Structure 1
Amino acid sequence: MLKSNRKITTVLVALTVLGWSPLKGQSIQRIEPLNWWVGMENPTLQLVIYGPEIGKTDVQIEDKGIELVKINRVENPNYLFLDVKVAASAKPGWSTLTFSQGKKKLTYRYELKQRDQKVKAQGVNSADLIYLIMPDRFANGNKANDQVKGMLDMSLNRDSMYLRHGGDLEGIIGKLDYLQDLGVTSLWLTPVLTNDMPQASYHGYANTETYHIDPRFGSNDTYVQLGEQLHKRQMKLIFDVVPNHIGSYHWTVKDKPMSDWLNEWPSYTQTSYKDQTVFDPYASADDKKKMVKGWFVPTMPDMNEQNPYVQNYLTQSHIWWIETAAIDGFRIDTYPYNDLDFMAKWTDRIQQEYPNFTFFGETWVHGVANQAYFLGGKHVGQEVDSKLMGVTDFQLNYAIGDALNQKTEWTAGANKLYSTLASDYQYPTPERNVLFLDNHDKDRFFSVVGENVQKYKSAMAWLMTTRGIPQLYYGAEILMKNFSNPDGLLREDFQGGFAGDKMNKFSPEGRTKPEQDMWSYVQTLANYRKQHAVLQTGKTMQYVPEDGIYVYFRYNEQQTVMVVMNCNDVAKEIKLDRFKERNSKVKSYFDIIQKQETSPADNTLKLEAYETKVLELKF
């Protein structure tokens, strides 16, 4: 349990009536952020006050540590936006906010906390292995929160791919030993904020609260415990942020502060999903507007990120979660659909508080140049420096599928993998890109390769040895399969995480022989990578594929690792003397998977169909 002085209260404000008559019909239903801290690098804060007709009151703050800079009254009289400044000399404690109309007054108290010096905001980098979980589908650690009275979605049916299944944060905490043993260093959960939507609420991408964990996953305290447990294991926590849109049942949508809080149109307008319009030098302004300001789907209103109140609301909430839950990095949903000017300001504001904090954005686009455009650094002539550090590398995701499934031609097969990586010059820091075989939106890769285990192992070997930050989707290590039509098939339960499961895939005894073999294969590679900097930060040298065989090296001053991938459906041999630039002084090769040292006869290496060898060179 958390110590009482660190408990995160879900009570928004404390009410004290100090002998005055209460304001008729007025009350404060919300103050957000829920609290703030003394000693922040940026002393400014904008409080959102919400309640019936609260915008008609005058406000005073009775605390020498907080200066009320400006009272912002907006179109909707149920809102006040208060600009305040927290003095450098401010002390932790409660500040009194007084709302008055004539002689009638109400006072409320707002808490400033002491910043906790616990581990936080470490950043996620190429030394990490990310594991992606959909919390509802991984493990149920507390059946009491499976259904929460009063929520719009009261479903609980594990036989339905679109209803809730009951997985939660306590279930994940209970499986951290499993993840650590596998070799995972960072945990990314799909969104965990309250998603009080009437349908398909399990996925989390239409949040209806900004400062509260969905009670069906647990509480704010439970989420803090998750971060603490990860950090005890020297693991990291990644938060999935969705600045582009919110759920249609979010409280600021049901009663909007102002007419331009959202990007709205005379009639419903959906985004075109055409990222090209953002950078196309010949694009129509209307097309660009539709891409960025159109709604993702009807139930996810598009936030107007050009509105300064929206900017503050989003940015402060993300800082609040880093400070509260000791988060280490953000995955940013639907990145190309955001306003890039805002995202640059957002990044600067967060890094002002947390210089080591990192971000990677989802860029589901086609083409390296398209993907590179959304990164920071203006490396490909962008008009706006988004400041984005890394992306989910969809281009290499496409390429690894082609390498193992298409015939070896100049533009396909192994050559597709080679040429895509050769385009890294367009990225300012390619090692910050996140590599993946599959995720909660993409076909399970085991199905992509036709359930061919040897192909799948080759893909895993590539994932663990190529430049960048590798990401595993839950169950990839035990051969979970399925295609994304419909996408619910990609989000099956991890067997063993729920009461009544016939098999426990978290345990070797519950896995089939092929599943256990795959699990051990992933574990071997993941832990080797975890223990050897050469696969984390080493340089890369790749060779033009010949005869469908792709070879690359990772190397630093201490080690060299050679990866040889046979992308053919028949066995092949290669002569190793072609690679003398990197292996001319080698005495033997240590096979990392087989855990045995070899000296290939006649300097020739044999590979089975679709086999990949990962070899540490011994000099």
Structure 2
Amino acid sequence: MKNSFLLLIFIVFISCNNSNKESMNTEIKEVSNTFLERVEPPNWWIDFKDSSLQLLVKETNIGSAKPTISYEGVSIQKVHQAKSKNYLFIDLQIDKNTKAGKFDIVFTFNDGTTKTHTYELKERQKSSEKYVGFNSTDAIYLITPDRFANADETNDINENLNEKIINRKDDYARHGGDIKGITNHIDYIADLGFTAVWPTPVLTNDMFRGSYHGYAMTDFYQVDPRFGTLAEYQELANELRKKDMKLIMDQVANHCGLEHWWMKDLPFNDWVNNQDYYEKNKENWNNQTVKVSNHRRTTNQDLYAAEADKSGNNEGWFVDTMPDLNQRNPFMAKYIIQNSIWWIETLGLGGIRQDTYPYPDKQFMSNWAGAIMNEYPNFSIVGEEWSYNPLLIGYWQKGAKNKDGYESNLTSTMDFAMQNNIVEAFSQHESYNSGLTKIYEGLANDFHYASPKDILIFPDNHDMSRIFTQLKGDVVNTKMALSYLLMLPRIPQIYYGTEILMNDFAKPGDHGLIRTDFPGGWKGDVVNAFTGEGLTDDQKEMQLFLKKVLNFRKNSKAIHEGKTLHFAPENGTYFLFRIKDDETIVHIINKNDKPISIDLNRFKEVKLKGKTLKNILTGENFTWNQTIQLTEKGSLILTTKL
């Protein structure tokens, strides 16, 4: 009897112990199943034209696991193992009638253990056709977020990231500007007359120094916490939409930052270019120099280019801290395309600006832009081609009749050629081959472009000296340059601070100085450009000048889509006309310091004789008859819309 009692106690003990172990195991399993290291994209949507989705899964030893899904309309088509045992790539098919919702992906390992990840398919907020990109009706305000306005000082430093210094006296350190700083000043931007905002990248840039600019991304799905949160990024997009404005996202398909999380454990042998060299030397990387791009961008078009030079441009790292992504790897290619689409849907974007466009694999870039434009037929993408040769600029635009048959699918490219012409036009004395002839003949090159009005023009940007610096501090020349580009058949982009004559006189061309803090964006700033407090008379005048021209441009169909007509420069003057139905815009540039009388009979084909036009800057009326008296150097903008 005693032995039986002891046996009963033993059985109860074992039972309870096993029960506790099972309960404990269940708790451990629930904790481990809640978080895999990474599943990207982190979510997706139903009702895309392309019903495929490829998931990148990162987790210790996940390569040996078998994934299963039990959700109506979602099926696994193929599972790909990577070279690294810590990755899986899963091809999913999402049927047309699939409902939005959450489902589990169960990963079963060889030893029978499992891990579960819950994935979500969301309803799309609007159809693909309703994603309307930027176009010639827009004027874009380019911002370097770290240098615009600091609305939240609590996020200035993040102890989990490598660069932990805020120093506004150091042009290459972080200054603390953030996404909220842009959102808080949307009214200022809108009142100036801008209809779109392009911030330079705000994704995580966990580099040890120079992280403020954002172009060395270390996580393509995460907002840098020093700029804010994903919710604040979405709030910026939403607040812009309330003003009928667009958010343009700056993306980088060519490279990432050296501290990107996957550089510690690359999934394939060819995930980045020159990977063999990197793998052999990464432990002592500070003492190594990888093969950097030769920057020979013409190799993309050159009929005679050597393969060595082509690969030197496309496969070399942009700099030794920016690994060159290998878009010929199909998993990398899919990753980049899906990442772009994820951000379009997440933010409701009004466009993408793609950095360093001629450096990645050019067939991939065609596929990338093609995938986006196929899904969003009214969207816009502008590519950065830093070239002063219109042949190269035009090559990248959709519809170009390229000799090699290349179709880029890219709606817009950047007009560095005309930007350079504008600077030369207002820096040089007048002669037959200089001065205003530069912009006259520069505009004549539009015959080469598939769609001139969809090309992006700018006076300067975050990578070049401020226009006020380039024009040697001449306010009148700066006004003429800006008014001219705003009248062109183009999409204009203005860099923040141009409206208050920001400059880099102290060290022309210095990137850190070009990206100077916008006055008034920080507590304690003595000068506040948002309110006008402390601005000089010249700064206030330029601010008002741009405001008048931009707001006029906003409502002018003649500028947005009208016929362009210009007359060769004569006597230090240049006449440009934009014509649409009953609206004619006359833009007159006068470089003469002394009064001059112009015979208007030369322009009789425009058929303005006897008509009354209004000066958009002064509000005064002018009757177009025999002559016009130009009393001072500068630009004159007249309109038949009274």
Q: 1:299 Cα deviation (Å)?
A: 0.8
Partner of residue 80, structure 1: 88
Find the aligned partners of 1:504 and 1:378 in 2 and give their Cα distance: 45
**1:166–1:216 CA contact under 8 A, matched in 2:** yes
Partner of residue 614, structure 1: 637
Find the aligned partners of 2:25 and 2:88 in 1 and give their Cα distance: 20
> 1:76-126 CA deviation, whole Å, 9 max, x = no partner?
111000000112222222111111124222222111111123996211000
> 1:11-33 CA deviation, whole Å, 9 max, x = no partner?
xxxxx986997999997310000
Partner of residue 184, structure 2: 174
| Counterpart selection for 2:618 from 594, 604, 619 | 594
Q: Which amino acid aligns with 2:493?
A: Q
Tell me, yes or no, if structure 1 residue 205 matches structure 2 residue 202: no
**1:577–1:584 CA contact under 8 A, matched in 2:** no
Partner of residue 8, structure 1: none
Tell me, yes or no, if structure 1 residue 47 matches structure 2 residue 55: yes
**1:74–1:258 CA contact under 8 A, matched in 2:** yes
**2:597–2:627 CA contact under 8 A, matched in 1:** no
> 1:109-162 CA deviation, whole Å, 9 max, x = no partner?
111111123996211000001000000000011111011121101010111101
- SS of match in other structure, 2:533: helix
- SS of match in other structure, 1:509: coil
Aligned pairs for 1:92-107 (under 5 A) are: 92-100=100-108, 101-107=110-116
> 1:35-89 CA deviation, whole Å, 9 max, x = no partner?
0112222110000000111101111112122100000001111100000011222
Structure 1: which 5+ runs fail to align? 1-15
Partner of residue 356, structure 1: 378
- SS of match in other structure, 2:171: coil
Q: Which has the larger radius of gyration?
A: 2
**Distance verdict in 2 for CA 1:23–1:487, change over 3 Å:** closer
**1:69–1:85 CA contact under 8 A, matched in 2:** yes
Q: Which amino acid aligns with 1:275?
A: R
Partner of residue 156, structure 1: 166
Tell me, yes or no, if structure 1 residue 32 matches structure 2 residue 44: no
Find the aligned partners of 2:617 and 2:320 in 1 and give their Cα distance: 48
Q: 1:513 Cα deviation (Å)?
A: 1.5
Q: Which amino acid aligns with 2:96?
A: A
Find the aligned partners of 1:519 and 1:202 in 2 and give their Cα distance: 27
Partner of residue 13, structure 1: none
Of the structure 1 ranges 136-145 and 378-387, higher mean CA displacement relative to structure 2 is found in 378-387
Tell me, yes or no, if structure 1 residue 408 matches structure 2 residue 417: no
> 1:149-205 CA deviation, whole Å, 9 max, x = no partner?
211010101111011111001111110010111001000000111111111000000
Partner of residue 548, structure 1: 572
Q: 1:215 Cα deviation (Å)?
A: 0.5
Alpha-carbon RMSD across the aligned residues, in angstroms, is 2.2
Partner of residue 424, structure 1: 446
Tell me, yes or no, if structure 1 residue 264 matches structure 2 residue 279: no
| Counterpart selection for 1:530 from 548, 554, 567 | 554
Q: Which amino acid aligns with 1:270?
A: V
> 1:195-219 CA deviation, whole Å, 9 max, x = no partner?
1111100000011011111111111
Structure 2: which 5+ runs fail to align? 1-23, 278-289
**Distance verdict in 2 for CA 1:41–1:551, change over 3 Å:** same
Tell me, yes or no, if structure 1 residue 304 matches structure 2 residue 326: yes
- SS of match in other structure, 1:564: strand
Tell me, yes or no, if structure 1 residue 488 matches structure 2 residue 496: no
Q: Which amino acid aligns with 1:441?
A: D
Aligned pairs for 1:155-304 (under 5 A) are: 155-264=165-274, 268-304=290-326
**2:216–2:322 CA contact under 8 A, matched in 1:** yes
Find the aligned partners of 1:376 and 1:353 in 2 and give their Cα distance: 16
Q: Which amino acid aligns with 2:223?
A: I
Q: 1:414 Cα deviation (Å)?
A: 0.8
Aligned pairs for 1:61-80 (under 5 A) are: 61-80=69-88
> 1:198-242 CA deviation, whole Å, 9 max, x = no partner?
110000001101111111111111000001000001111000011
Aligned pairs for 1:315-354 (under 5 A) are: 315-354=337-376
**1:26–1:52 CA contact under 8 A, matched in 2:** no
**2:141–2:196 CA contact under 8 A, matched in 1:** yes
**Distance verdict in 2 for CA 1:600–1:334, change over 3 Å:** same
Q: 1:618 Cα deviation (Å)?
A: 6.8
Partner of residue 410, structure 2: 388
Partner of residue 9, structure 2: none
Of the structure 1 ranges 567-576 and 373-382, higher mean CA displacement relative to structure 2 is found in 567-576
Find the aligned partners of 1:403 and 1:567 in 2 and give their Cα distance: 10
**Distance verdict in 2 for CA 1:570–1:271, change over 3 Å:** farther
Partner of residue 109, structure 1: 118
**2:395–2:402 CA contact under 8 A, matched in 1:** yes
Of the structure 1 ranges 205-214 and 383-392, higher mean CA displacement relative to structure 2 is found in 383-392
**1:248–1:254 CA contact under 8 A, matched in 2:** no
Partner of residue 606, structure 2: 582
**1:27–1:52 CA contact under 8 A, matched in 2:** no
Find the aligned partners of 1:22 and 1:174 in 2 and give their Cα distance: 41
Q: 1:548 Cα deviation (Å)?
A: 2.8
Of the structure 1 ranges 407-416 and 546-555, higher mean CA displacement relative to structure 2 is found in 407-416
Tell me, yes or no, if structure 1 residue 57 matches structure 2 residue 65: yes
For normalisation by structure 2, the TM-score amounts to: 0.90
**1:135–1:190 CA contact under 8 A, matched in 2:** yes
- SS of match in other structure, 2:36: coil
**Distance verdict in 2 for CA 1:233–1:427, change over 3 Å:** same
**Distance verdict in 2 for CA 1:60–1:127, change over 3 Å:** same
**1:20–1:105 CA contact under 8 A, matched in 2:** no
Find the aligned partners of 2:189 and 2:361 in 1 and give their Cα distance: 36
Q: Which amino acid aligns with 2:162?
A: L
**1:239–1:331 CA contact under 8 A, matched in 2:** yes
Q: 1:587 Cα deviation (Å)?
A: 2.2
Find the aligned partners of 2:608 and 2:624 in 1 and give their Cα distance: 14
Find the aligned partners of 1:504 and 1:205 in 2 and give their Cα distance: 28
- SS of match in other structure, 1:511: coil
* Identity level (%): 38
Q: Which amino acid aligns with 1:525?
A: V
**1:25–1:52 CA contact under 8 A, matched in 2:** no
**1:131–1:186 CA contact under 8 A, matched in 2:** yes
Q: 1:331 Cα deviation (Å)?
A: 0.7
Find the aligned partners of 1:418 and 1:596 in 2 and give their Cα distance: 28
Q: 1:569 Cα deviation (Å)?
A: 5.2
Of the structure 1 ranges 375-384 and 510-519, higher mean CA displacement relative to structure 2 is found in 375-384
- SS of match in other structure, 1:554: strand
Partner of residue 535, structure 2: 511
Find the aligned partners of 1:586 and 1:283 in 2 and give their Cα distance: 58
Find the aligned partners of 1:32 and 1:291 in 2 and give their Cα distance: 29
Find the aligned partners of 1:547 and 1:585 in 2 and give their Cα distance: 22
**2:610–2:624 CA contact under 8 A, matched in 1:** no
**1:590–1:598 CA contact under 8 A, matched in 2:** yes
Aligned pairs for 1:448-459 (under 5 A) are: 448-459=470-481
> 1:516-544 CA deviation, whole Å, 9 max, x = no partner?
11111000000001112111111100111
Find the aligned partners of 2:583 and 2:303 in 1 and give their Cα distance: 45
Find the aligned partners of 2:29 and 2:571 in 1 and give their Cα distance: 86
**1:566–1:607 CA contact under 8 A, matched in 2:** no
Find the aligned partners of 1:25 and 1:96 in 2 and give their Cα distance: 10
Partner of residue 563, structure 1: 587
Aligned pairs for 1:424-443 (under 5 A) are: 424-443=446-465
- SS of match in other structure, 2:614: strand
Partner of residue 134, structure 1: 144
